[in-house]
A and B are shown apart, each in its own frame.
Chain A
């Protein structure tokens, strides 16, 4: 997507193109993590303003364009969720149950990603204990915090931290460095 290069050159038309190609994906991310449409729309706006401002820093050697964009969207949605406004908004939302954890099966648009690294990550997540894996996935997809996960699993916070930290380090070993 060399359109990102054009965005970096300050071309608003190029940003329009990037938006047309990616906004449904990124809105899906914001919607899932924010949990409600109005905030997800606000966050999506800030995502593309960040893309506009940061496109010059996109490095194709480090990440694919869609990974780079998805990471900005996810981090922005999590920023919102951790903000005061996000906490207030979420307190008034129905139970988290509405946003059940994604199942472990790969989806069709997994094809967007390098299939090989996706397979490897899935295999390595598969070596973790089921509960740990499900908590890591919920942190990724729902933006859940340690405290929320501990409450959901009904275990002490320290235990949850220990599970996940060990799980993540195991995951890293399995994936190998790099």
Chain B
């Protein structure tokens, strides 16, 4: 169409046309097919999207009606069905109360007032907190995890005396419990998470405490029901 362009320029111009959306009908269909079948061409298209992206700063915002979110929510899958272990079933009963009872506010207050402020860092959630509690007068453990250095800090109350030791578990939403180790009965405890475990500390995962035989190494699986549990929220 344009005699003065080299084949390479033609190809790049076509990528720009597709990125910008100038084409229609057969020409558009052909260019889209090329982009699907030719990763080199797809990369050119993506590069054009990036080149033009500063223009995205100029759109006029407009609030959509609430019905749009409702329609989106109705198309999402139900909360992923966990592979239900007996432990999780028990946990969910406990959580119902914990979540309804201002647990989030309490955990936030803990994070903000009882412990030193986090070091300023990148905008990603730096902090994860959880209020790990039981339904009636049992243990209460407040957890604060700092993503930037992998440090988990705990404030521990109400662990019953006895020969068994409290062990902390993380349970990814829909996953199996993973031991983070035993935490002792002292009022405060700290542990540095090994990198593989850091990935598990996400919004909505559950922290739980079970009472286990004393061990220097984390157990593979809990031997009994949790004495306390709570969901992680990130800040």
Contacts and interface: CB of A to CB of B under 8 A. Distances in A.
B16 A41 contact: no
Interface string B127-144: 000000000000000000
Interface string B1-23: 11001000100110011001111
Interface in A50-89: 52, 62-63, 66-67, 70-71, 74-75, 78, 81-82
A128 interface: no
Given A82-B24, A165-B2, A11 B53 contact: no
A172 interface: yes
B23 to A, nearest CB: 7
Given A28-B59, A141-B55, A165-B2, 6 more contacts: A24-B61, A45-B72, A78-B21, A117-B54, A141-B58, A147-B24
Given A9-B202, A113-B54, A168-B13, A25 B61 contact: yes
B164 to A, nearest CB: 33
Interface residues of A, number: 74
B104 interface: no
Contacts of A113: 53-54, 56-57
B107 to A, nearest CB: 16
Majority SS at the chain A contact face: helix
B224 interface: no
Shortest 4 CB-CB contacts between residues of A and residues of B = A110-B57, A118-B54, A78-B21, A70-B56
A164 B20 CA distance: 11
B58 to A, nearest CB: 5
Contacts of B73: 12, 16
A74 B22 CA distance: 13
Contacts of B56: 29, 66-67, 70-71, 74, 112-113
Q: How large is the interface on B (under 10, 10 to 19, 20 to 34, 35 or more residues)?
A: 35 or more
Given A143-B21, A147-B24, A110 B51 contact: no
Interface stretch (B75-83, B95-103, B184-192, B209-217): B75-83
A106 B58 contact: yes
Interface of B: 1-2, 5, 9, 12-13, 16-17, 20-24, 28, 46, 49-65, 67-69, 71-73, 75-77, 79-80, 123-125, 173, 202-204
Interface in A3-32: 6, 9-16, 19, 23-25, 27-29, 31-32
Contact of A19 (B50, B72, B80, B125): B72
Given A27-B63, A140-B52, A118 B57 contact: yes
B64 A24 contact: yes
A9 B124 CA distance: 16
Contacts of B75: 45, 49
Contacts of B76: 12, 15, 52
B166 to A, nearest CB: 28
A27 B57 contact: no
B50 A28 contact: no
A145 interface: yes
A165 B67 contact: no
Contacts of B5: 165, 169
B62 to A, nearest CB: 5
Contacts of A118: 54, 57
A131 to B, nearest CB: 15
Interface string A109-147: 111111001101110000000000000110111011111
